[in-house]
């Protein structure tokens, strides 16, 4: 029997596979496509996702293929400076195409030992007290202890489970593609600048060799998202929006997206769970979708591994939904607000002008950047110290950097007193005795995802959170 089957070899599924493999969990990843998609929907990693890559020793791989930016404009395209005082050691956005992110995460998962099978389409599933049976299109049946649906907004797993997906349907579609452009670059730049004064759902950006990434409002809303737009659709909409089609031709790929916002009613049904777009969809404003899915996987991975390996305390796996469902709900609200602010109607334009003024206030600008980049996420792990529930940033310790010590995916007691112990949990929690000027606390207990679950100096008070998050002592 397989420990965990993951359906969907996108960023969420691949990140989850690698996280499970860190703990020796047997993982099979199924994807109905025979090869990685060429479609570049996401263009970068936000702060929290960058921190995740650093925590797993992957950041150098991503930095080699991306470009660091410290620019504003992520909230509804309203220009504002990048805040200087964000609570992170990685205060930038990494521009990197999703196709590269997909490849790097697939390489990471494969190196960790995940079995990635393409051309395998899930068509049915059933579960009992002992496991899940997955039925594939070719008639193959696979048996696993758990199954996680990371198979996108039209998730087969979610539909087979009968999990409701309430929310708001799309009211406007946008065309997205990569194609050659014959118009001179000066003409393209001038036209784009003029149109974007009022139409934020429009853009042509050069990506090399005469190819441009083209974004333009669609003529109508399409119910069937599997229908690919044509080059003629792009030409017509470019003409309608900008007064020219820029001589577009020879598309690499064409697609469309809507502004629907939906969230799965629950993230778990017995031994089957949902993550990424299978659990929530929203428009790509602010570039949050890919990042939200990666962060789902980072939260779920160690908890599901603990369940499989037999040391999970009661209720640990259920905290995946209780922690991540509110985070996605907040992202949906943020994208709904931004959808209003990019409208060309007079009322929303007036609100946009007001928001532009408010974002001149440093505190407002920082708060909105924290929402977009997930720096504002704090899980409910109990009352007390301000660090509780927050992810600890990449501290510069006297002998190490914090994230360099977290590559194995274990918990950690960072002990500045040198008097504490993780005896009984040493197979799950590392004890690091080191000091730093950046942490105003005697000691902190970190989960494998870097979130703080205890702050203190007394050994007796440490035992309860160790049991709560890491199970019965050995």
**In this predicted model, what pLDDT tens digit does every residue of 222-258 receive, in sequence order?**
877 778 899 999 999 999 999 999 999 999 999 999 8
Confidence check: pLDDT of 415 > 90: yes
What pairs with residue 446 in β-bridges? 412, 452
- Token pair of 344, please? 């060309």
* pLDDT for res 227: 83
Nearest to 306 by CA among 294, 295, 296, 319: 319
Give the integer Cα–Cα distance in Å for 452 and 448. 10
Q: Where in the chain is the domain with CATH 3.40.30.120?
A: 402-470
Confidence check: pLDDT of 286 > 90: no
Class of domain 173-258 (CATH, top level): alpha beta
* pLDDT for res 384: 92
Asked if CATH classification 3.50.50.60 holds for the domain at 2-167+262-373, the reply, yes or no, is yes
- Please compute the mean of the pLDDT values over residues 116-121 and round it to a whole number: 97
Asked if CATH classification 3.40.30.120 holds for the domain at 402-470, the reply, yes or no, is yes
Confidence check: pLDDT of 39 > 90: no
Q: Where in the chain is the domain with CATH 3.30.70.2450?
A: 173-258
Confidence check: pLDDT of 117 > 80: yes
Query: Do 215 and 176 touch, CB atoms closer than 8 A?
Result: yes
* pLDDT for res 38: 85
* pLDDT for res 285: 85
* pLDDT for res 59: 97
- Please compute the mean of the pLDDT values over residues 188-209 and round it to a whole number: 91
- Token pair of 129, please? 């007290």
Give the integer Cα–Cα distance in Å for 29 and 428. 26
Percent of the chain's residues with pLDDT above 90: 86
Q: Give ∠ CA 144-147-151 in degrees, rounded to 5.
A: 140
* pLDDT for res 380: 95
Give the integer Cα–Cα distance in Å for 4 and 7. 10
Confidence of residue 291 (pLDDT cuts 50, 70, 90): very high
SS3 of 274, please?
A: strand
Which has more confidence, 319 or 223? 319
Percent of the chain's residues with pLDDT above 70: 100
- Please compute the mean of the pLDDT values over residues 116-141 and round it to a whole number: 96
* pLDDT for res 18: 98
* pLDDT for res 124: 96
Helix count and strand count (H, E) for the chain: 12, 22
Confidence check: pLDDT of 326 > 90: yes
Write the pLDDT tens digit of every residue in 2-29.
Answer: 999 999 999 999 999 999 999 999 999 9
Give the integer Cα–Cα distance in Å for 188 and 205. 9
Q: What is the mean pLDDT of the chain?
A: 94
Q: Where in the chain is the domain with CATH 3.50.50.60?
A: 2-167+262-373
Taking the CA atoms of 103, 106, 111 and 117 in sequence, report the sign of the dihedral they define.
negative
Distances (CA, A) of 159 to 69, 223, 278: 39, 17, 10
């Amino acid at each position: 029997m397989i420990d965990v089957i993951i359906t969907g070899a996108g960023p969420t599924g691949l990140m989850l596979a690698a996280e499970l493999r860190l703990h020796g969990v047997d993982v099979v990843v199924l994807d109905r496509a025979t090869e990685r998609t060429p479609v570049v929907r996401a263009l970068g990693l936000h702060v929290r996702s960058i921190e995740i890559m650093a925590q797993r020793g992957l950041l150098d791989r991503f930095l080699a293929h991306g470009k660091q930016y410290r620019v504003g404009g992520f909230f509804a395209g309203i220009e504002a400076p990048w805040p200087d005082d964000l609570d992170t050691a990685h205060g930038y956005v990494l521009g990197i195409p999703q196709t590269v992110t997909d490849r790097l995460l697939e390489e990471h998962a494969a190196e960790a030992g995940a079995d990635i099978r393409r051309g395998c389409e899930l068509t049915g599933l059933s579960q009992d007290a002992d496991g899940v049976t997955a039925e594939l299109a070719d008639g193959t049946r696979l048996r696993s202890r758990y199954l996680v649906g990371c198979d996108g907004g039209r998730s087969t797993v979610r539909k087979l489970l009968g999990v409701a997906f309430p929310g708001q349907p799309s009211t406007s579609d946008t065309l997205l593609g990569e194609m050659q452009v014959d118009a001179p670059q000066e003409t393209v730049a001038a036209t784009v600048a003029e149109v974007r004064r009022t139409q934020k759902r429009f853009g042509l950006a050069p990506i090399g060799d005469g190819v441009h990434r083209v974004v333009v409002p669609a003529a109508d809303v399409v119910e069937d998202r599997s229908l690919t737009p044509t080059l003629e659709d792009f030409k017509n909409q470019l003409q309608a929006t900008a007064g020219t089609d820029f001589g577009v031709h020879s598309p690499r790929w064409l697609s469309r997206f809507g502004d629907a916002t939906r969230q799965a009613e629950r993230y778990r049904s017995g031994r089957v769970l949902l993550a990424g777009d299978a659990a929530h969809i929203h428009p790509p404003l602010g570039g949050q979708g890919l990042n939200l899915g990666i962060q789902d996987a980072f939260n779920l991975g160690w908890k599901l591994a603990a369940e499989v390996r037999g040391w999970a305390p009661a209720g640990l796996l259920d905290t995946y939904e209780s922690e991540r469902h509110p985070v996605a709900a907040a992202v949906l609200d943020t994208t709904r607000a931004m959808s209003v602010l990019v409208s060309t109607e007079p009322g929303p334009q007036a609100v946009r002008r007001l928001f532009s003024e408010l974002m001149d206030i440093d505190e407002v600008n920082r708060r909105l950047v924290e929402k977009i980049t997930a720096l504002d996420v704090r899980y409910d792990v109990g009352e007390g110290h301000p660090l509780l529930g927050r992810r600890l940033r990449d501290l510069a310790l006297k002998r190490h950097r914090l994230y360099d010590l977290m590559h194995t995916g274990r918990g950690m007691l960072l002990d500045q007193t040198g008097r504490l112990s993780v005896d009984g949990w040493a197979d799950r929690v590392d004890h690091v005795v080191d000091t730093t000027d950046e942490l105003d606390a005697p000691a902190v207990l970190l989960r494998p995802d870097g979130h703080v679950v205890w702050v203190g100096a007394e050994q007796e008070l440490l035992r309860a959170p160790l049991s709560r998050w890491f199970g019965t002592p050995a």
